[in-house]
């Protein structure tokens, strides 16, 4: 439990919320393609009973892939507030660059959760019927939130901050001399370049390729622990995923090189070559772990 006084926890949450609302409207973790890939990977690793429960929870015609980016439509941005601004903090955890994760500082205890770690923990409990949700049709919405937030948790720039809104304020000269920000490079551009080079336009097809690369041990990670009742992963486990993503993010910053006189970074093609495998691995891990959570909670 956090040792911060109630007033301090409230101030920390409000400060993080205001910072989150400065995100450009396009700053969506992994983009639609990445979230679709995570959802498709997870779908392929669901137990038969879990698949049936997912189908019963979702609306007719919906799939994990089709709802994977739903949560982004709720939070909005500074210029276009969403219909549920209270969900903004659930998309990220601001672990300062160069620091180790500190729960009291980075994800303090609040009734509704103050970061993506607590969101995953909370919605596990909702899916496992250990607590009520926040909204009508709570388990239905908990499932849609979970699909998205497990993806967010594995996007390294959602687990770091350098007083730059998770890389949103660092401008990068990317391929074809396009100006991007560091966050967008990790959301979309590295993955897009990988798909382009392999002539794969369909995210599900790219997910199938990643699935084929999984080892038997990796696929086994998606299996639930033996139990006849719903179970959940510990908060420490979820925190471990965030810490690992933060370590990758540290390398994402370190490899930028010096800022030019125009304030832009020019990391060059070597940046893509260095980090493309990390993006693929994080997508795989997210798919495996999403499947594990659903296999644990939906039984």
Say how far apart CA 124 and CA 77 lie, in whole Å: 26
User: Is there a domain that residue 154 lies in?
Assistant: yes
Q: What pLDDT does 177 receive? A: 94
Burial (CB < 10 A; 0-12, 13-18, 19+), residue 170, is: buried
Q: How far is CA 294 from CA 26, 87, 148, in A?
A: 28, 21, 13
Picking from 290, 124, 138, 266, the residue whose alpha carbon sits closest to that of residue 207 is 290
pLDDT for res 9: 40
Instruction: Please report, for residues 143, 255, 263, 272, the alpha-carbon distance to residue 185 in angstroms, rounded to integers and kept in the order given.
Output: 28, 13, 17, 9
What pLDDT shows up at residue 115?
97
pLDDT at 218: 98
Degrees to nearest 5, angle at CA 155 with 18 and 23: 25
190 with 30: CB under 8 angstroms?
no
User: Can you tell me the distance from the alpha carbon of 271 to that of 125, in angstroms, rounded to the nearest whole number?
Assistant: 39
Residue 163, classed as helix, strand or coil, is: coil
In a domain, 1, yes or no: no
Range of the domain at 278: 6-297
* Tokens (6 digits) for 31: 């983009």
3-state secondary structure 68-121: CCCCHHHHECCCCECCCHHHHHHHCCCCECCCCCCHHHHCCCCCCCCCHHHHHH
Domain tally, the chain: 1
Task: Please check whether residue 113 lies inside any domain of the structure.
Answer: yes
Cα separation, 147 vs 219, in Å, equals 18
pLDDT at 201: 98
Phi then psi for residue 259, to 5 deg, are -80, 140
Assigned token pair, 231? 């179970």
* pLDDT value, residue 137: 81
pTM over 0.85: yes
Residues (pLDDT < 70) of the chain are 1-29, 77-79
Q: What angle do CA 240, 291, 131 make, to 5 degrees?
A: 75
Alpha-carbon span 89 to 19, nearest angstrom: 10
- Domain for residue 10, yes or no? yes
**17/88 Cα distance (integer angstroms):** 7
Query: The CATH number of the domain where 100 resides is what?
Result: 1.10.575.10
């Amino acid at each position: 439990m956090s040792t911060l006084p109630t007033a301090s926890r409230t101030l920390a949450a409000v400060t993080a919320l205001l910072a989150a609302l400065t995100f450009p409207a396009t700053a969506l973790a992994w983009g639609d393609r990445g979230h679709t890939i995570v959802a498709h990977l997870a779908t392929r690793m669901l137990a038969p009973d879990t698949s049936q429960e997912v189908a019963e929870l979702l609306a007719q015609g919906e799939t994990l892939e089709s709802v994977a980016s739903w949560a982004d439509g709720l939070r909005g941005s500074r210029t276009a507030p969403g219909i549920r601004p209270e969900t903004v903090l659930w998309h990220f955890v601001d672990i300062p660059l160069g620091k180790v994760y500190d729960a009291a500082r980075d994800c303090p205890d609040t009734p509704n959760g103050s970061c993506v770690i607590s969101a995953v923990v909370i919605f596990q409990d909702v899916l496992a019927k250990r607590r009520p949700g926040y909204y009508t049709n709570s388990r239905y919405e908990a499932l849609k939130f979970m699909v998205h937030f497990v993806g967010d948790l594995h996007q390294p720039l959602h687990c770091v901050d350098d007083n730059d809104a998770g890389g949103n304020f660092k401008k990068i000269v990317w391929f074809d001399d396009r100006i991007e920000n560091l966050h967008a490079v990790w959301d979309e551009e590295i993955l897009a370049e990988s798909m382009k080079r392999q002539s794969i336009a369909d995210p599900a097809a790219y997910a199938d390729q990643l699935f084929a690369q999984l080892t038997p041990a990796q696929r086994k990670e998606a299996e639930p622990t033996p139990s006849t009742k719903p179970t959940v992963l510990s908060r420490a486990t979820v925190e471990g995923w965030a810490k690992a993503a933060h370590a990758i993010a540290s390398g994402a910053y370190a490899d930028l090189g010096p800022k030019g006189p125009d304030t832009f970074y020019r990391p060059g093609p070597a940046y893509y070559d260095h980090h493309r495998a990390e993006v693929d691995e994080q997508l795989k891990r997210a798919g495996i772990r999403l499947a594990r959570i659903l296999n644990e909670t939906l039984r």
